[in-house]
Structures are given as C-alpha cells and as structure tokens.
Structure 1
C-alpha cells in the first residue's frame, strides 16, 4: 500500500513539473503576435533589425521578452543600438539603424507590456500617445529622441499609467506643459524631460510627483525667479522632495539669489540629495555657507551663472563631494585651502573666474583627483612639486591664462600619468620641462606649451612620450636647434595636430609622422628644399604652413597628390619655378614668374582663397578664374599683370549670395571626426591671410571665414572698371589702386552694401564721383587720390565722417567739403567747351528748347481759355491784376519822387557861392 502511495505521489510531482515546464515555455499570444507583425508592416527597417520576426513563437524574436507564466509580451526593446543622439553626427551606420515611418498604434494591444523602449529612432514619427493609455502594466517608457512635436496628449495618455516608474522623453521636441492640476504619478521614480522647449515655469502638478528620485529638466527653456516664486513655491518645491537623489535644472532661465535657493530647501533633502546641477542659469549672489548642510552631495554644478564673491571655506566640509564645477562665474578671492579636505573629489573646475592669489598646496593631497582646471583666472603664484605630490589619479591639468611660474626640480618624478596638459602662457622655461620624461605610459594625448618661455632645444627623450599625442603645440617660444623627432605613428590611429611655428628651429625640413593632418612650422629658420616625396611622407595632411622660413628650390608636385590637402601656405620663402596644381594657394612674396595658370579656375572650382601677391606674374588675368564660385579672397597685388579686369569677376557667387550655411561648410572642410577641445582654439587650423585693407596690412585668422576681398593693386591693368563688380554685395574690401584704369567710377557703386574699404587711387579715372557712394553705410576707408575726377564731392551718411582731404588729393577739379567750396571754382560751362561734345549733344539741346516752347504755349492757351469761358474768374483775375499794378505803380512813383528830391538838393548846393 505504501509503495502504491509513493508511486501516486511521484506521478503527481511529475505532472506538476511538466505543467510548470509547459508554462515556462509558453508561446506568445496569437493576438499579440499579430499586433507585432502589423507593427512591422508599418515600418521601414533598412538594417533588417526585425529579420527574426518570422518565427512562429514571437517570444523568440529580437527585442521581445515574454512572461514565462502566461506567454504575454512584457518587453519591447527596439531602441537604436548605435546609442545616443550625439553619435548620429559621426556614424552613418546609426542612421541606417533607424526605423522609418509612423509609430503604429498596434502597440496598445500588448496589454501586459511592462517595458517599452523605442529611443533614438530619429526617423520614427509620432502623432499621438493614446496607445500608451491602455498599457496599464507599463513600468518603463523610453521615447528619447523621437519627434513628439505634434503630440498634444502626451501627458494625459501617460497619466493613465499608475505603475509607471521610469519616464524618458528627452530630445522629443515637446513645446508645452498641458494644463493639468494633478497627475497620477505616485510610482514614478525617474523622470527625464530634458532638452525640450517648454518655455514656461515649472507647472503646479509637479508637486504630485514628490516620490521622484531622479529628475532631469535640463535644457528645456524653463524659467522662474526668486523671490517672486516663493508664493507658490513651484520652483523651490523641488528642493522639498525627501526622496530626491538627483536634480538637474541646468541650461534654463532660472534666476534669483543663489543663497535663497539653498536657504529654502528642506532638511530631508539635505540628507537625500546626491546630485545638484544648477549650471547655465541666471543665478546671482554669493555662495552661502549653508552648502555644507548637503552632507551627502556628490555632484555640485553651479557653473555659467552670475555668482560672485569668494568660495566659502564651508565647501571643503561637503565630505562626499566627487565633482565641483564653479567655472564661468565672477568668483574672486583666493582658493580656499579647505578644498584639500575633499578626499573623494575627482573633478575640480574653477576656470574662467576672477580668482587671485596663490594655489594652496593642500590641493596636492587630493589623491583621487582626475581633473584640475583653473584656467583663465588672475592667479599669480609659483607652483612646485608639493602642489602635485599626491595627485596620483590626475589625467587632465589645465592652468593656462594665469601668471603661474613653475619651479620644479628637474629630477622630480610626477606621480601621475597625464592625458591632457594645458600650460600655455605660464612660465615653464627657460629649460624644457624635464619632469615630462616620467609620462612613459603613452597616455599623453594633448600637450600645450604655447608661449611658455622655453629657451632650449627639445630633448631626445621627447620622442618616447609623444607617440600618442594628438595635439602638440610648442609654438611661440624660443626653441632652438633641429626639429623634434616625431616619426612614430600614434598607437590608436588618432588624428594628429602639430604646431611648432614661431620658434627658432633651423636646418632642413625633416620627416614627420605619416598620420599627421595639421602641420604648422612657419616663422622659423628652416632652410633647404621641400622634400620631393612630401606627399608620400604625409599623405593625410589637411593643413600645411611652411611660410616665413628660408626654403628654396621648387615646389614638389607630390603636394598635389595629397588628396586631403585643403590649406597650403608657402609664402615668404625663396621658392622659385612653376606652380604645381594645388587646391588652396597661399604663395605670396616669392619669386614666381610667368602667367597666372588658367587651370586654377578649371580644376579647383572649390578654391576659397587665392593669394599670389608680391611675385612676378605677368600677362592677362585668365577668365577661367571667374569659375571660382567659392572664392572669397582674391589677391593678385604687386605683380606685372596687364590687360583689363574681366567683367565676369562680378559673378563670384560666394560674394553675392549670403549663404549662412557656407560658414559651416568652410569650417567642416577643416574638421575632423574628433572634436579637439583645445583651450581657446576650437578649430584645428590656424589658417591666416594678409589683406591690404583700410590703408594698412591686416592679418585675418579667426575671422577669415567672414572676409570677402579683391585686391589687384599695383599692376598694369587698364580699361574701365567693370560695372558688373557692383553685383558683389558681400565684398568688404575692393582695392584697384596703382593701375591705369580710365573712365568713370561705376554709377551704381552704392550697391556694394557691405563695402568697408575702397581704394581707387593712382589711376586715370575721370568724371564725377557717383552720388550713390554716399549709400555705403559701412565704408570706413576711402582713397580716390591722384585721378582726374571732377565736380562736387557727394555727402551724407557715412561719407560725412570721411573728412580727410588726402582722400581726394590729386584731383584738381573736385570741390565741396572737405575741399574748397564749389562756388569758389569756375562754374561749369564757362571757358573752353567740354571735350567730347558733338552734334548729338546739340541735337538733344534743340529738342529740349522746342519742348520748352511747346509747353509754354500749351500752358498759356490753357489759362487764357479758362478766363474766356469763366466770367467770375476773369473778373477776379483782372481785379487782382489791377490791384497789383496800382500797388507797383505807387511804389515806383514814390521812389521816383525821392530820387528827384535828392537831385534837386545836389544842384542847389552846387549853385551856392
């Protein structure tokens, strides 16, 4: 009997296990499978991410998870696998991973869904979130980066989800908060509404989400001020959420005293809050001592506000602080030594303030500090190895923009391995910093020793620490001897930028790493020829500047095989021979001869700058240059160019069409897949152009993209100035001086609305100055001297401020301010006939007098006819004539009698003895 009982018990157990196994392998519900298939049909899937959605059991499909108990779909994870929005700028594959189309409402049929993630599908459009209101079991919803700009029911739909714990709607183009008094978000723990454009204050219904732990409202155009907000406390209410762990209100328009923000927070939030970001707002005032009440705070960001006063010592008592960002304010005073007590601190950024005094040695005890950034302050001190003694975790040190002197023993071994070191304009020299030899882990990526008073040669060991440097700037020092050995390719294949310009390097041009893309060794004492195989040595070059050296010989043709080269400056050398066919030409102040090559306009239509001034080019200007639609700077000055100025110069598209996108194109053509965060220099190229403008030579570098200029001065050009030039509405500098131009100044020169500098001096121009020249509102420099101009000088607007007589000197027939008055000169028409008058002029004058006579007769007959037919008018007119006649007759009679009396008196006096 007992054995039978045991067998029955065993059978029951087997049945139970089998039943449980069946449940655990339960296939998905048919209705939900059909909903998912309909969802798939409505979308375009370019990367075939839904390729697995063909099996019978939808629980096995990619992105789908089901309940082991009943087979219902509980999770739908179809986020873009390429990651956040910031990758889309660089990864084409991220765009290909997008779903394309309108979000189907079939998702609403997945009644047991708990997790829905469709984030970062940029090409997925949404008209309504009503489908979400039926997902009553939903706990996690992430629609980051979807366009919800047309969705008006987002809050009402989500308000129907009582179980929702996480809501992510960042970068969704939401533009307003619906007018709700209360919301049903009692379970909500994480709310992310960042990077939208609400343009409002924080709504009252936020007081119903007091259980929230992480709240991100950054970059959402929210506003609110203190103390005006204290009445409803909608802003300060957030600092009374006792469960709040992270609060991010950065990059909005909140304002008020920063002390009131911390002074009106509740005691419970002092214990709970771990992260507080109020950066990039309009808070003002001094930092309060009450900051130390937030004892568990790990992250505090108050940067980019209007804070002033000193940093309180109490900040050093927030013992759990890991990141402190106070940059871009107006904080002054000294750095408090108490910051050295923040033993957990990893990031300290106090840059771009007004801090002064010295750097406390206590900062050198922060063994976990990863980033120390104090650049652009007024610190004036000496630092030694004691300031860095325990900074074994330091990877980024930024101290430029201060008066800091490094006094470090050459034998000191740094305890850290840096990735970024920015010391520009600090006094590091005169010797090359020997302590850098300890950076042996090839971790150094950014090294900026610009203008650091180094009067020394680069040591041989420098090559061993430089193999992985992406940005090297040793420019503007007095570094001597040969160029450094930098022949090794970076370990990770990163882009490399090398600035060695403005030093005292000498010797021949040596080899550089083959992966370098930007190389500037201008303003040195290099001699010899440019290597013939330079194009093979550095095939990835985008930017090359060798200007102002002593290089000679010809330009290697291999330069033109460098397919990435977009900026080349070889000016101020002793180069000779023919020009190679390169993309961008800056070859002024050399000894090039022959004609300007026509292929420049034929083969490189995207050329933006053509500067070949101060050479010995001759012959006519090739009309092919007119094909340079992107040309913004043309400098052919100081050559021997002859012929006329091509009228098609008025067709340079980039000087006519104001295209805002062109600046982006210009910069993007000089950009890299990696954005180099170089202090004060956010672009990798420091290209520059010298332009003779406003009577002097000006250097353009950062503003080069905004310069529009044509300079053909000091050549042998002749003929008339083409009237087509007035089409160049964006041109700022036009210099045609020192040629043999004849004829008149173009009558419509006033159409050059952007013109700032106009130089037409030393030509043979004649006629009057066009009145339209007074319409040039931005004109600040004008030179019309030594021509044959005549007549009055126009006046008005900006022209009235140009009162220097030298502007018009050498034009003897000009008059009017600032020269002598036109009334003091012989009026036109007197003296000799004007040359060029002919029978056509006499014929025109005859017709003028004939027309004048006909007009007079017509008017006279009209008046007489009216008086003949209108009797009252005739009587009134004749009475008026009679009165006027009588009045005049009386006046004349009186005058005659007075004259008679005078004569009679004079005669009587003469007759007296």
Structure 2
C-alpha cells in the first residue's frame, strides 16, 4: 500500500493556499506529499495570521528543512508531522519561534537524537507547550535530560524508542575509550559513573511539575530504579509502561507516592509475586489498572474495593489464584466497564449474578480457565442485568454445569459485538435469537458445545458479522440457501463436525471477504458450486473433507490450503486463468481417475500433496520433482 502511494507522490505549491486568510485549521494528511516546490514552502503560510492547526501527517516529507519553513507560521498551536520520513538529528531550534505552540507530534519518523545544545531544551521558551509526542522514533536515553527543561508539559509520549540506554554514548568525555585502554582496573568505577549517568536523567524529569501523562511503552526498559524518579512527579495521572522488560515485584513503594494516579498500565512486563497490599491500596483514584501479561500471583487484594472509580481492570495472563468469587470487585460496580480475568489460576464456583448491578459493564473476559472455574448464571431467585454488554468471553468455564443451559440474561442483551461461549457443553437448540437480537454482532464462537437441531438464521442481513464458529456441535438438517446473503461479510466460517446435510448453498459465493471456510465432517452431498472459486476471491483455506461431495474439485487463485479428502469427487480442475498459490492439497480417498494433472507442477509453493486411494495412473509429471520443498504423500 505504501509503495502505491509513493508512486503518487508529488510536490506541494504552498502559495496556492495564501488567499485563505481566515483559515484556522489545515489538514494535508494522507496526500502522498513528498515536499514543496522550491521557494514555495510553508513559510508562505506566515501570512495566515489565524492558522492554529496544521496536520501534515502520513506523507513523505524527508527533508528537515521543512521545520525551518514551519517555524515561520508563528500563529500555530498544533503541529502534526506523524508518519513521515524525517530522520537524523531533530532540529528543535527551528521551532523556537512558535511561541503559542501547544501540541507537537513528530511520532513515527526516524529521528535518532539531537545535536549538543540544540536539543529539546531549546523548546523551553515555548511556555504553552503542553503535549509532546515522540513515539516510534529512535531517540535514546540521552534525550531524557533535555526533555526535563520543558516544564509546561502535561503529556509526554515516548513509546517505541530505545530509552533504556544508548550503548554508543560517550560517558564523561573520553571515559569509555580510557576504559578500553586500562581494562579491568576501572571496571567498578565505570559502573558507578554509568549508574550516575543513567539515573541523573530520570531524576531531572521531576522538574516537570505539570506533567500528567507519561507514556514509555515498548522501550526495552529492564530496571525499575527509574521509577523512584518518576514517583517524584506528583502531578502524574497516567503512567504507561506497557511492553517493556521490567522485572521484580510490583513497584508499590515507588508508585504509592503518585496519589493522583488515574491510569496505571504495567502489562507485558515480567513483574511477579504478590501485590503488596498496603502500598497498592494507596492508589485510590485509579480508573484504569492493567497488570496483564506478567507473573503476579496470590489473591487480588480486598482493598481493590476501595478503588471506587475503577473503569478498566485487566489482570489477564498472570498466576492469580484462589476462589473465583474473591475476584469480585464490589465497590466499583457503578464504574467498571471492562473486566478481564482471563488465563489465571482461579478455582471454584462464580455466580455471575454478582454483576447484575454493574450498570456500565461492557466487556467481560474470563478465558482460559480449563474448566477449573464453574460459572453459574442462573440464580435461584432469577435476576435482570442493568448492563448492556458489548463483549462476553466465557470459554472453558463449565458454564451452568448442572443444566447446560445458555445464559438467560443474554436474552436482554442487544448491543453485543463479540460472544464466545465455546467449550462449555451447552445444550438445547441453536440460539438464533442471539444473532437476531444483536444486529451489530461481529464474532460468534459457540464451538464444542452440544447444540442440536437446525442452524436457523436471522431474517435480517447482518453486515457486521465477520467470524462465526459453530463447529463440534450436533446440528443437523440442511443449511439455509441464503446464508451468503444474510452474512455477506464473513471472513471466517466454521461449521465442521456437525450432522449438516444437503447441497452446499451457492450464495456462499457472494461472501466476497471469506478467507477460511470449514465444513468438514458433516453429511453434505452434491457438487461444489464453481462460484465458490469465482466469487470468493480471497478464500485461502477450504476444508470440505469427510462429506459425500461428488463431481469436480475446482482449484482457484487464492487457495493455499485445500482439504477435499474422504468424499466422492471424480476429477480435479484448475479454474481458467488462475495462479496457483497452493501450499497444501489433500484429495485422498476419493474416486478421481486419470493421469495426475500436469498443472500441479506449476504450484511452486506446494509443500504437501496427498492423493492416496484414488484411481490415478501413468507417470508422475516431472514438473512435480522440480518443486523445492515438496513432500509427496501417496
């Protein structure tokens, strides 16, 4: 896609914009602009005295001289240069004239630092600069001290840089060179100086007395000592450390001082152990708590109930344990919108009706419990939820283990986006009302249950549905002929391992975005409609194995995995004008006769070919032996 836009790149004549004297906001983003016509640069906009917002993001600017011309637009308050191709040292001094600048975004470029005395400290004269976004460049640790001079900053985003340390930094003049000469004599001293160098920069951030948002995602940080300096920024409300390499216990002693903290994201690190209750409980203003993808264990501290403003609670992919009911967060029932307890080690019975009064609850995830948790949704007294869920994921939860009934509270849900109740041994007829009641449903996963009867479809077209898996149930009868019209935008459809019968609906050929189709292990019969190849142009995986299909197997352009084994097919044909991208082809246990098609030799990506138990005869085409990674299974 980017190459496509590069071919369309062009030079901008900025003077064409000069007549718009009252212009306040100008967006030229996503226009494949490669620069400006000589002498017709952005300095021409200096006459637009009212221009406050300029968005040049998602273009191909690659010359830092653009910043000098932008410095002439002194009325600017917001400047966005994200997703360009600017690189080298960031020339901060070119922007010192923008005294009203409030927001600067130079994210997703290739800047790798600043020159001495020309760094971000030069922007200290911009007293109104409150938001600085430097994400996904190549700034290293050395940029931290210069940022500490921007005392007006309220938001500082540094995600996706290598902030932990620049290995090539020249510490204390020629100190590293001296170390190479004198060898181990200075090793202890070098570590001491290096420690001072690394910690001083972080300590300098305490000067940012107005800083409320600090984003340090994906920076390979592996030492929590810097948090002692961060804790000195009392104004901090959001701290994002997602996706680093931080280890040890929960840094509560450092973070407990951040009494104004509202958002704490520690996901994707290597923290472990139990949460220190006293310090953890000091974070009473938290609205977002993300501890996901770490190694925390023990029980959730009861004081989490004191966090009455909590909106998002994500403790997924840890080792929290204890009775599942202990994970119930009572005091936040009026505020919680998002709960994810997935992939922990909880046990016991959990009564879902405890969430009945969570009026704002929208997302509930309880994945990966391996049936060690039993979730009961049908209270003896009955209950009506105050919430309207958007996402509910309760696979492997022994859901309503005694009755096997699908949760009745779902009857009252009308805004569902994702439903995953797979692997729960649920019984009864297929809940077509679940689809009928939720017209914006995108994902439905009911695989590996015990639903019976026909797969009745809703009457209305569901354009939002992209993923449907009802495999490994006991559904029978014929598949509705209009399935392709009811779900025209499906990407994934799996009805395998049921008892469905009859012909394959030709309307499936109208599913233009279908990528994976699995109808294997059913009782389907008849021929496979050719429109499946001519209509489903994105279909890469087709599995019709273990049915009673007959006639021709059609091989189309996009197909990479084709499993047609254990049927009654009598021939295999390449759709005219098709390009072979096959990786895997299994046509074994059919009734195909004749010579092996020579066009198979053109399948240069083919890795596995299974043709056993057919009636092929003659020579094996020499073209097949030319395929480098080909593994034949006869």
Give the TM-score normalised by the residue count of structure 1: 0.57
Q: Match for residue 323 of structure 1?
A: 288
Choose from 13, 33, 40 the match for 1:100: 33
Question: 2:246 aligned with 1:298, yes or no?
Answer: no
Q: Match for residue 208 of structure 2?
A: 241
- Cα distance 1:244–1:99, how it changes in 2: closer, same or farther (>3 A)? same
Question: 2:291 aligned with 1:308, yes or no?
Answer: no
**Following TM superposition, by how much is the alpha carbon of 1:385 offset from its aligned partner in structure 2, in angstroms?**
5.1
Q: Match for residue 600 of structure 2?
A: 649
Q: Match for residue 808 of structure 1?
A: none
- Report if the CA contact (8 A) 2:54-2:76 is conserved: no
Question: 2:247 aligned with 1:276, yes or no?
Answer: no
Q: Match for residue 79 of structure 1?
A: 27
Q: Match for residue 173 of structure 2?
A: none
**Following TM superposition, by how much is the alpha carbon of 1:283 offset from its aligned partner in structure 2, in angstroms?**
1.3
Question: 2:443 aligned with 1:498, yes or no?
Answer: no
- Cα distance 1:454–1:394, how it changes in 2: closer, same or farther (>3 A)? same
Choose from 445, 448, 455 the match for 1:476: 448
Choose from 310, 330, 342 the match for 1:364: 330
Q: Distance in 2 between matches of 1:262 and 1:150?
A: 30
Question: 2:301 aligned with 1:336, yes or no?
Answer: yes
Q: Distance in 1 between matches of 2:240 and 2:479?
A: 54
Q: Distance in 1 between matches of 2:384 and 2:220?
A: 47
- Cα distance 1:191–1:617, how it changes in 2: closer, same or farther (>3 A)? closer
Q: Match for residue 154 of structure 2?
A: 213
- Report if the CA contact (8 A) 1:541-1:562 is conserved: yes
- Report if the CA contact (8 A) 2:353-2:383 is conserved: no
- Cα distance 1:632–1:360, how it changes in 2: closer, same or farther (>3 A)? same
Residues 748-804 of structure 1, C-alpha deviations (whole Å, 9 max, x = no match): xxxxxxxxxxxxxxxxxxxxxxxxxxxxxxxxxxxxxxxxxxxxxxxxxxxxxxxxx
**Following TM superposition, by how much is the alpha carbon of 1:130 offset from its aligned partner in structure 2, in angstroms?**
5.1
Alignment of 1:688-699 (within 5 A): none
Alignment of 1:112-261 (within 5 A): 115=52, 117-124=54-61, 126-129=63-66, 131-132=68-69, 135=72, 137=74, 140-150=77-87, 152=89, 154-159=91-96, 164-180=101-117, 183-186=121-124, 187=127, 188-199=129-140, 201-224=142-165, 229-232=195-198, 233-256=200-223, 258=224, 260-261=225-226
Q: Distance in 1 between matches of 2:299 and 2:249?
A: 14
Q: Distance in 2 between matches of 1:473 and 1:623?
A: 34
- Report if the CA contact (8 A) 2:471-2:498 is conserved: no
Q: Distance in 2 between matches of 1:479 and 1:629?
A: 39
Residues 886-911 of structure 1, C-alpha deviations (whole Å, 9 max, x = no match): xxxxxxxxxxxxxxxxxxxxxxxxxx
Question: 2:383 aligned with 1:412, yes or no?
Answer: yes
Q: Match for residue 616 of structure 2?
A: 717
DSSP 3-state at the match of 2:297: strand
Q: Distance in 1 between matches of 2:508 and 2:148?
A: 67
- Cα distance 1:385–1:633, how it changes in 2: closer, same or farther (>3 A)? closer
Q: Match for residue 580 of structure 1?
A: 529
- Report if the CA contact (8 A) 2:81-2:107 is conserved: yes
- Report if the CA contact (8 A) 1:320-1:344 is conserved: yes
Q: Match for residue 171 of structure 2?
A: none
DSSP 3-state at the match of 2:451: coil
Q: Match for residue 346 of structure 2?
A: 379
Q: Match for residue 43 of structure 1?
A: 12
Choose from 27, 39, 59 the match for 2:21: 59
Q: Match for residue 735 of structure 1?
A: 633
Question: 2:423 aligned with 1:423, yes or no?
Answer: no
Alignment of 1:18-37 (within 5 A): none
Residues 276-320 of structure 1, C-alpha deviations (whole Å, 9 max, x = no match): 112211111112442322111111111111111112223232222
DSSP 3-state at the match of 1:157: helix
- Report if the CA contact (8 A) 2:239-2:264 is conserved: yes
**Following TM superposition, by how much is the alpha carbon of 1:329 offset from its aligned partner in structure 2, in angstroms?**
0.8
Q: Distance in 1 between matches of 2:375 and 2:582?
A: 47
Q: Compare CA radii of gyration and give the structure with the larger one.
A: 1
Q: Distance in 2 between matches of 1:622 and 1:294?
A: 68
Structure 1: which 5+ residue stretches go unaligned? 1-40, 66-76, 82-94, 506-525, 656-707, 737-913
Q: Distance in 2 between matches of 1:179 and 1:535?
A: 63
- Report if the CA contact (8 A) 2:90-2:111 is conserved: no
Q: Distance in 2 between matches of 1:636 and 1:576?
A: 16
- Cα distance 1:398–1:273, how it changes in 2: closer, same or farther (>3 A)? same
DSSP 3-state at the match of 2:111: coil
- Cα distance 1:285–1:333, how it changes in 2: closer, same or farther (>3 A)? same
- Cα distance 1:199–1:393, how it changes in 2: closer, same or farther (>3 A)? same
Residues 387-419 of structure 1, C-alpha deviations (whole Å, 9 max, x = no match): 425422211111122232223405022232211
Q: Distance in 2 between matches of 1:468 and 1:130?
A: 45
- Report if the CA contact (8 A) 2:588-2:612 is conserved: yes
Which of the pair is proportionally richer in helix?
Answer: 1
Residues 714-759 of structure 1, C-alpha deviations (whole Å, 9 max, x = no match): 334344444332321233x3113xxxxxxxxxxxxxxxxxxxxxxx
Bigger shift: residues 292-301 or 406-415: 406-415
Alignment of 1:849-888 (within 5 A): none
**Following TM superposition, by how much is the alpha carbon of 1:193 offset from its aligned partner in structure 2, in angstroms?**
1.0
Q: Distance in 2 between matches of 1:397 and 1:325?
A: 14
Alignment: residue pair count: 574
- Report if the CA contact (8 A) 2:74-2:97 is conserved: no
- Report if the CA contact (8 A) 2:262-2:286 is conserved: yes
Residues 338-385 of structure 1, C-alpha deviations (whole Å, 9 max, x = no match): 011001111111111111113436612202111111111111132225
**Following TM superposition, by how much is the alpha carbon of 1:204 offset from its aligned partner in structure 2, in angstroms?**
3.5
**Following TM superposition, by how much is the alpha carbon of 1:334 offset from its aligned partner in structure 2, in angstroms?**
0.7
- Cα distance 1:504–1:238, how it changes in 2: closer, same or farther (>3 A)? same
**Following TM superposition, by how much is the alpha carbon of 1:558 offset from its aligned partner in structure 2, in angstroms?**
4.8
Q: Distance in 1 between matches of 2:280 and 2:67?
A: 48
Q: Match for residue 631 of structure 1?
A: 582
Q: Distance in 1 between matches of 2:543 and 2:144?
A: 59
Q: Match for residue 182 of structure 2?
A: none
Q: Distance in 1 between matches of 2:578 and 2:353?
A: 63
Q: Distance in 2 between matches of 1:438 and 1:541?
A: 23
Give the TM-score normalised by the residue count of structure 2: 0.79
- Cα distance 1:489–1:234, how it changes in 2: closer, same or farther (>3 A)? same
- Cα distance 1:201–1:426, how it changes in 2: closer, same or farther (>3 A)? farther
Q: Distance in 2 between matches of 1:79 and 1:647?
A: 56
The higher relative CO (CA closer than 8 Å, separation ≥ 6) is in 2
Provide the alpha-carbon RMSD of the alignment: 3.6
Q: Distance in 1 between matches of 2:513 and 2:153?
A: 52
